Amino acid sequence: MVDRRIPKVRDLAPLMKFKAPELNAKKRRLESALTIHDLRDIAKRRTPKAAFDYTEGAAEAEVSLARARQAFEDIEFHPSILRDVSTVSTGWDVLGAPVALPFGIAPTGFTRMMQTEGEVAGAHAAARAGIPFSLSTMGTSSIEDVKAANPDGRNWFQLYMWKDRERSMALVDRAARAGYDTLLVTVDVPVAGARLRDKRNGMSIPPALTPKTVINAIPRPEWWINFLTTEPLAFASLDRWSGTVGELLDTMFDPTVDFEDLKWIKAQWPGRIVVKGVQNLADAKKLVDLGVDGITLSNHGGRQLDRAPIPFHLLPQVVNEVGNDTEVHLDTGIMSGADIVASVALGARFTMVGRAYLYGLMAGGEAGVDRAIQILAEQVSRTMRLLGVNSLEELEPGHVTQLARLHPVSRPVADAAVAARRASTRKTPSSTATPPKTVEETDAAAPGAIIPS
Ligand SMILES: Cc1cc2nc3c(=O)[nH]c(=O)nc-3n(C[C@H](O)[C@H](O)[C@H](O)COP(=O)(O)O)c2cc1C
């Protein structure tokens, strides 16, 4: 029998911790987000469907993106115990200059469509956090405005090579003169990927007002007020365009760009050069021979070739083979600071976030980007401490096992036969891509190796 009594006010008082309500709605909204997924949910409520889907969507059936995110979820961490982790340092040098965190903001096109503050908000937030900001060729803020928003920090310019090379190189020249320290050359867009959500939504640039978009606007007034009362949305480095992003890419971009062109671009650029969109070891080696300062393992956030290799799975092998000769960076699928820590443990010098930053932007403009960076930074620091390390240098492959759901079917005999037949009918050798090792070939017991789950 429970012995009951009347509660005394004196006992209840310490339990009553009423906080003054936060009157600033944006602050309240952003503080309620504890993860990037939470920011995404807020972003979805506040952004018109076509703009949100343009950001969140990927190519075809969106398998590449789902797999990349899954690969990060399928990590097993191996912590060490009884280490003094009262202090932790999350910075080091990337491409010869310091970064406060092992991630930066990836280049994204048409950013002011997601939220009117766009790239300038990202550059301000990056400046505060001490991380690089990358401006896309398809950006909606000018090279100079972005530099002014991050005057003492690191700005990277992302190049897509257009058919009109003079105009492309004029942009590169402008970025160099404005003081951008790194050129990111994106190489995974010979043609546009099939972004089916955009087609289904009738997404065009600039956004068109149709009965559907007007109805969709009703619960999202702030986005529309911003859209209609701020500077018109346009590509800062391109003439006005009307059509879909895919049509724009296919009209403007040069599908003939090759390694010789890259050599030529490298010769024009005075700073560091990183090639973004590397997806196999053979290409990584060729780029090292060409003398690039870094490569980014990336499949463009799943927006180009669907069912492309998962960058996080490529990482150990590529680091092992070329990691001493060049910096290996990685993006695609990062939704948590723990994903970043795992990438660094497996040898990535740096990572970039695309959607994680854009979800923050759509959830609350510049304050939302601050919140996204803060969430990722806290996750990085906490994961490092829980692993028992004080610095990025102490992270090593033994801290992470990649558990694989999908692994290649064993096929060496068929591969050899097909390759020999093709070689005999081909004039010039092209792809030297090596297929990933089969699970049977992989040392499944080694930390950092991919093991099937
Ligand atoms: C909306 C959007 C626009 C993008 N635009 C560009 C671009 O203009 N140039 C580029 O090199 N990559 C672009 N990317 C790819 C990102 O730079 C990056 O590779 C990708 O977002 C990483 O995947 P994540 O979104 O899962 O972090 C874009 C990505 C998104 C989501």
What percentage of residues in the chain have a pLDDT greater than 70? 91
Q: Look at residue 197 in the predicted model and tell me its pLDDT.
A: 94
State the DSSP string of 148-163.
HHSSSS-EEEEE--BS
- Is 6's pLDDT higher than 80? yes
Residue 367's nearest CA partner among 131, 122, 139, 134 is: 122
- Is 451's pLDDT higher than 90? no
Place of tokens 């068929």: 414
For ligand 1, whether the C-beta of 334 sits within 6 Å is yes
CA distance 127 to 43: 23
Mean pLDDT of 374-389: 98
Nearest atom within ligand 1 for CA of residue 110: 3
- Is 40's pLDDT higher than 50? yes
**Would you call 191 helix, strand, or coil by DSSP?**
coil
CA distance 278 to 331: 11
For ligand 1, whether the C-beta of 323 sits within 6 Å is no
Question: How far away, in angstroms, is 374 Cα from ligand 1 center?
Answer: 20
Residue 146: CA count within 13 A, CB half-sphere: 32
Element (H, E) at 353: strand 350-353
Q: Look at residue 447 in the predicted model and tell me its pLDDT.
A: 44
Nearest atom within ligand 1 for CA of residue 137: 8
Task: Choose the weakest-confidence range: 35-44, 146-155, 217-226.
Answer: 217-226
Question: How far away, in angstroms, is 230 Cα from ligand 1 center?
Answer: 24
Place of tokens 């443990």: 345
Q: Is 124 a catalytic residue?
A: no
End-to-end CA distance of the chain: 50
285: Cα separation from own chain's centroid: 23
355 class by beta-carbon count within 10 Å (0-12 exposed, 13-18 middle, 19+ buried):
buried
Q: Are 390 and 87 in contact (CB under 8 A)?
A: yes
- Sort strands 92-94 and 97-99 into parallel, antiparallel or unpaired: antiparallel
Question: How far away, in angstroms, is 301 Cα from ligand 1 center?
Answer: 6
Question: How far away, in angstroms, is 162 Cα from ligand 1 center?
Answer: 18
- Residue 231's pLDDT band (cuts 50, 70, 90): confident
Task: Choose the weakest-confidence range: 135-149, 221-235, 371-385.
Answer: 221-235
Looking at per-residue pLDDT, the higher value among 257 and 236 belongs to 257
Q: In the numeric block, which tokens belong to residue 341?
A: 């820590």
Q: Look at residue 35 in the predicted model and tell me its pLDDT.
A: 98
Residues paired with residue 353 on neighbouring β-strands, in sequence order: 105
For ligand 1, whether the C-beta of 108 sits within 6 Å is yes
- For 295-314, the pLDDT digits (tens) are 999 999 999 999 999 999 99
Mean pLDDT of 224-248: 78
Mean pLDDT of 267-281: 97
For ligand 1, whether the C-beta of 257 sits within 6 Å is no
Atom 2 in ligand 1: residue holding the nearest Cα: 108
- Is 426's pLDDT higher than 70? no
Residue 203's nearest CA partner among 50, 70, 338, 316 is: 50
Q: Are 305 and 299 in contact (CB under 8 A)?
A: yes
- Cis before 206 (ω within 30): yes
Mean pLDDT of 252-274: 93
CA distance 390 to 84: 8
- Is 13's pLDDT higher than 90? no
CA distance 374 to 359: 13
CA distance 238 to 240: 6
- Which of the following is catalytic: 37, 78, 124, 300? 300
For ligand 1, whether the C-beta of 364 sits within 6 Å is no
Nearest atom within ligand 1 for CA of residue 186: 11
Q: In the numeric block, which tokens belong to residue 261?
A: 């062109």
Alpha-carbon dihedral of residues 382, 388, 391, 392, nearest 10 degrees? Answer: -80
Q: Are 191 and 282 in contact (CB under 8 A)?
A: no
- Residue 332's pLDDT band (cuts 50, 70, 90): very high
Looking at per-residue pLDDT, the higher value among 10 and 160 belongs to 160
- Is 446's pLDDT higher than 70? no
Place of tokens 């310091």: 98
State the DSSP string of 93-121.
EETTEEESSSEEEPP-TTHHHHSTTHHHH
How many other CB atoms are there within 10 angstroms of residue 144's CB atom? 14
- Is 1's pLDDT higher than 80? no
Question: How far away, in angstroms, is 109 Cα from ligand 1 center?
Answer: 7
Q: Look at residue 179 in the predicted model and tell me its pLDDT.
A: 98
Domains of the chain (ranges, CATH numbers): 29-198+228-399 (3.20.20.70)
Q: Maximum Cα–Cα distance for the chain, whole Å?
A: 92
- For 178-204, the pLDDT digits (tens) are 999 999 999 999 999 999 999 999 887
- Is 382's pLDDT higher than 80? yes
For ligand 1, whether the C-beta of 292 sits within 6 Å is no
- Which residues, other chains included, contact 235 with Cβ-Cβ below 8 Å and sequence gap of 6+? 109, 110, 138, 139, 140, 241
- For 349-380, the pLDDT digits (tens) are 999 999 999 999 999 999 999 999 999 999 99
Q: Look at residue 421 in the predicted model and tell me its pLDDT.
A: 79
Pocket-testing residue among 108, 334, 357, ligand 1, by greatest number of atoms within 8 A of Cβ: 108
Place of tokens 């620091």: 381
- Is 41's pLDDT higher than 60? yes
For ligand 1, whether the C-beta of 138 sits within 6 Å is yes
- Is 450's pLDDT higher than 60? no
Residue 394: CA count within 13 A, CB half-sphere: 16
- Residue 427's pLDDT band (cuts 50, 70, 90): low
Atom 19 in ligand 1: residue holding the nearest Cα: 300
Q: Are 199 and 243 in contact (CB under 8 A)?
A: no
Element (H, E) at 245: helix 245-252
How many other CB atoms are there within 10 angstroms of residue 84's CB atom? 7
